[in-house]
Amino acid sequence: MGKKRKRKASIRNRILFLVIMCWVVPVVAVFVFTAFSYRIEITKRTDSMIENEMQNISSLVAGRLDDLIESCLQISYERSCEEVWREYRKGVKTKTELIDTITILSKQQFNLDRRFSMFAFYEVETPYVISYNTKIKHQFDEYVRDIEPEISEIRQEDTSNVQLKVIERRLFIVRNLYTVFDYEKFGTLVAEVDIKRLFHGLEIREKENVALSIGEELDLVQVHGCVGEKSQRYVIDKLFNQYQKSQRKNLFLVKDLNYNAYMNMKEYNYYDMGVLFLVNATEVYSGLYEFYRVISIIFIAILPIIIGIFYFLEKQIGTPIHELVNVSKSIERGELGAVLEIENMPNKEFDYLVDSFNNMSKKVKYLFDCVYDEKMARKDAKILALQTQINPHFINNTLEMMNWQARMTGDSTVSEMIEALGTVIDYRMNRENQKLTALKEELKCSEAYLFITKKRFGQRLTFEKEIDESVLEVKVPRLVLQPILENAVVHGIERVKKGIIKIRIYREEDKVFLEVINTSGRVSEEEKERIHEILYGPPENIQGVGKHTSLGLRNVNERIQLIYGQEYGLHIEIDEEHTSFKIVIPYEWKPEDEEEKKHQVEIELREKREMIWEEKKD
């Protein structure tokens, strides 16, 4: 075999490639280079501006938080709460008086400071809050349900450090209170920071989403816009991962297709605080996208010129060649003599090429018809030769005399056998020299043969049949069942004490199946190989007992394939006890359908030409 030929590109693809390389690629290259350079510059400028703004806001917010923490520390320095608690411990004051005093002190300390929105006080031995004041409409039940479990953990700690805690997107200042001299815990102070007041007066753009982060956890307090939506979680998580991996940097920046995230994280006396800016990438780089739009308009304006060039080349070269290829494929599919019927070609070169192609196609069809006629003549001669091998010539008059003599002596059994033999011989002689006959005639001959055989074997042989009467008029080659029945007797019934021969005839879709099943006993692997050689091996390999019936099977298979084609024929299936001979023929077949015959022969010729071509290349 020669090397497989490399598949080449079509001329249409080559024209398209030429247009792309000469026009599209240079235009796109200029666009990409300009856009990339401009993008770098505007990106640096925008990022620098946002980072400066974020640092200024962070410094101002940190100063304000420090003031709020000092206010919370002041309540313990003044010792008012401590003294009231001591009197409560000594029994001087009741718990109600303790609560009232604490409430009054908290109002004096916090209500005037609008930067606090809520105050709560816990007595050290009381599990629940004893004083709760708020300026906004936070429900107390909501506080107890969502906030208090987190506060309880801090109450258990043995420290007086001020802690900033983000709970449910709200910022709280929490501190355990201790006595000044003996350092005994007497309560816990909780104050909520009003975020709007914390950022009041700071310049934040309308389209910026701003949040406050306290500590290393991903707990954010909403300041402006919307931060924390599902579409934003990826860039926020990536930003905090970057912060946790770095211990020295203060500024962090993460970008994705939708958002740019900036964070300025810095360590202060009581807390680590970061201000997070989350900005829509489209809005940040609006100037860049405007530039992209202008470049796109220019490119779209050039596009019609590129399309016009491609259309001109396609019409002048691509379309004529494409039409020629299509007609060539039609010829390859079997439509010999196909011509290209186009009146006006785009140029004179293709006019000459089309005329030459049409003349060549007509000559090929003429040569093929000559070869086909010769092929069909040889085929018919071979079929007649094969049939001649199995057409015995006996004298029917002799059989009629023998039948008359048997009737005269009253021997009805012999008479019936002679009549059956006459039916078989008359059918085999084929006086009208027909290649095909009705299936019912073939069955009549087969039943006559089996009648004679049954007389020979007696009770050893049982004959069964299962026939679809709707297919009895189907045309079949003559003498295809009897050789199979003879083989079933010689290689099946004669080997066993008692056996069955069954004929099944049925239809499936557009095929008719003639099946003969006989008892055969166990068949060795050698016997299976011999059967395969009978059907597909050379005739000289058929030797030994039953050579006549073996040649008959081979004859049946060859005749069916010569008449109907390679997809039909005789198939043999063997199991442990039975052998099945199955003939497959078409339900409808028209011998006069010459176009189909030509197509089959043309395929064979094309395969031979390809083999010769490969041999020449080698």
| Phi/psi of residue 299, nearest 5 degrees | -65, -40
Task: Tell me the three-class secondary structure of 300-354, residue by residue.
Answer: HHHHHHHHHHHHHHHHHHHHHHHHHHHHHHHHHCCCCCCCCCCCCCCCHHHHHHH
Place of tokens 């429900």: 139
The total of other beta-carbon atoms located within 10 Å of residue 96's CB is 9
Task: Tell me the C-alpha distance between 419 and 424, whole Å.
Answer: 9
The residues near 366 (Cβ < 8 Å, ≥ 6 apart) are: none
* Structure token pair of residue 488: 């079933």
Q: Are residues 487 and 453 in contact, defined by beta-carbon separation less than 8 angstroms? A: no
Q: What letter does residue 108 receive in the DSSP assignment?
A: I
Q: Are residues 271 and 245 in contact, defined by beta-carbon separation less than 8 angstroms? A: no
Q: Among residues 361, 362, 311, 321, which one has the least CA distance to residue 342?
A: 321
Task: Tell me the C-alpha distance between 477 and 481, whole Å.
Answer: 10
State residue 616's pLDDT score: 46
Bridge partners, 370 (sequence order) = none
The DSSP code sequence of 194-245 is: -HHHHTTT----TTEEEEEEESSS--EEEEES----GGGHHHHHHHHHHHHH
* Structure token pair of residue 456: 């020979």
Which mean pLDDT values do the consecutive 10-residue runs of the chain (618 residues) have?
56 70 73 74 79 84 86 77 86 85 79 81 87 75 85 87 86 88 87 85 74 76 73 76 71 77 81 81 71 77 76 74 78 76 72 77 74 61 52 55 71 75 74 78 86 83 88 88 85 82 90 89 74 67 54 80 83 84 86 52 51 51
Sheet holding 578-586, edge to edge: 461-467, 499-508, 511-519, 578-586, 569-574
Q: What letter does residue 541 receive in the DSSP assignment?
A: G
Q: Are residues 252 and 262 in contact, defined by beta-carbon separation less than 8 angstroms? A: yes
The model scores a pTM over 0.85: no
The residues near 488 (Cβ < 8 Å, ≥ 6 apart) are: 501, 516, 518, 579, 581
The DSSP code sequence of 134-154 is: ESS---HHHIIIIIHHHHHHH
State residue 514's pLDDT score: 92
State residue 11's pLDDT score: 66
Task: Tell me the three-class secondary structure of 581-609, residue by residue.
Answer: EEEEEECCCCCCCHHHHHHHHHHHHHHHH
**Cα angle value 534/538/541 (rounded, 5°):** 70
| Domain 78-198, architecture per CATH | 2-Layer Sandwich (3.30)
Tell me the helix, strand and coil percentages in the chain, rounded to 5: 55, 20, 25
The DSSP code sequence of 338-400 is: -----S--SSHHHHHHHHHHHHHHHHHHHHHHHHHHHHHHHHHHHHHHHHHHT-----HHHHH
Task: Tell me the C-alpha distance between 212 and 137, whole Å.
Answer: 22
Q: Among residues 288, 296, 360, 285, which one has the least CA distance to residue 328?
A: 360
State residue 583's pLDDT score: 92
Domain 435-591: give its CATH superfamily.
Histidine kinase-like ATPase, C-terminal domain (3.30.565.10)
Three-state secondary-structure class, residue 496:
coil
